[in-house]
């Protein structure tokens, strides 16, 4: 069974530029999560989707971050404009249902110069 | 109250030794406590988890010990191997929420 797929794996951009991350969850998993992981820290939830509905986006900085999950499968997380402090690893995870085990992708490492 | 405090930040153990990582929490509404293992360049992977109705759970060389009154739980890795070298995260979740609260991580190095 294929795991959670994320792309790109690495991204280097200059500040004020836009950037987007893509996630393909495990087939059949209805719940999708985006996490932010700063260096030396544990992941922090940004947003959770149940199918195509964002049911918890309380931690998403909505002035510059946006996310979508069209058709309840793949998801895209966007930052516009990026700031230096956005440099981190962005992890996507999925679970068969909300309270089930979360399976993480390898993450996208973002560096903002 | 939402925090999970993890220690130590880093740990070096000889092959065959016991690795012990500790976590503490404040929110008594937490009712699910997983441990995740993360290798460089990979996402975290669930290692073992416990609910507060039991004091210990063992899976192979990995054991969670849970002390509900002290609001603490720990991961014990018996017969530690170089392949166990990774970063370990404890986490906690409330039954009413799907949100995992992660500790800050412990970087484990097992020397051959």
pLDDT tens-place string over residues B35-65: 999 999 999 999 999 998 999 999 999 999 9
pLDDT at A1: 65
Find the DSSP H helices in B1-112.
none
Q: By CB neighbour count within 10 A (0-12 exposed, 13-18 middle, 19+ buried), where does B112 fall?
A: exposed
> In angstroms, what separates the C-alpha of B71 from chain A's closest C-alpha?
20
Chain A neighbours among B 92-111 (CB < 8 Å)?
98-100, 102-105
Q: B66-110 pLDDT, tens per residue? A: 999 999 999 999 999 999 999 999 999 987 778 899 999 999 999
A60-101 pLDDT, tens digit per residue, is 999 999 999 988 899 999 999 999 999 999 999 999 876 778
Cβ contact, residue pair B99, A4, below 8 Å: no
Could B98 and A107 be called an inter-chain contact, meaning their C-beta atoms sit closer than 8 Å? no
Facing residue for B43 by CB, picked from A40, A45, A91: A91
Chain B, 49 to 88: residues with Cβ < 8 Å from chain A are none
Q: Which of B41, B44, B98 sits opposite A98 (nearest CB)?
A: B98
Across the A:B interface, residue pairs with CB atoms under 8 Å apart total 44
Residue-wise pLDDT for A27-55, tens only, equals 999 999 999 999 989 999 999 999 999 99
Long-range (24+ apart) CB contacts under 8 A made by B39-42 are B39/B86, B39/B87, B41/A106, B42/A106, B42/A107
pLDDT at B16 over 70: yes
């Amino acid at each position: 069974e294929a795991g959670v797929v994320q792309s790109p794996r690495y991204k280097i951009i200059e500040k004020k530029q836009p950037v987007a991350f893509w996630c393909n969850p495990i087939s059949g998993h209805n719940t999708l999560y985006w996490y932010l992981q700063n260096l030396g820290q544990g992941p922090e939830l940004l947003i959770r989707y149940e199918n195509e509905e964002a049911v918890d986006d309380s931690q998403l900085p909505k002035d510059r971050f946006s996310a979508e999950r069209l058709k309840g499968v793949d998801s895209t997380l966007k930052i516009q404009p990026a700031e230096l402090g956005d440099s981190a690893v962005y992890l996507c995870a999925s679970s068969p249902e909300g309270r089930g085990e979360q399976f993480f992708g390898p993450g996208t490492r973002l560096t903002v110069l | 109250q939402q925090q999970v405090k993890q220690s130590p930040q880093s740990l070096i153990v000889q092959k065959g030794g016991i690795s012990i990582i500790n976590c503490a929490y404040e929110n008594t509404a937490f009712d699910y406590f997983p441990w995740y293992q993360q290798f460089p360049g990979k996402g975290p992977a669930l290692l073992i988890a416990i609910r507060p109705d039991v004091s210990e759970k063992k899976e192979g060389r990995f054991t969670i010990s849970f002390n509900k009154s002290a609001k603490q739980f720990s991961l014990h890795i018996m017969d530690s191997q170089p392949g166990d070298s990774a970063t370990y995260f404890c986490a906690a979740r409330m039954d009413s929420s799907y949100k995992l609260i992660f500790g800050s991580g412990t970087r484990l190095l097992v020397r051959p």
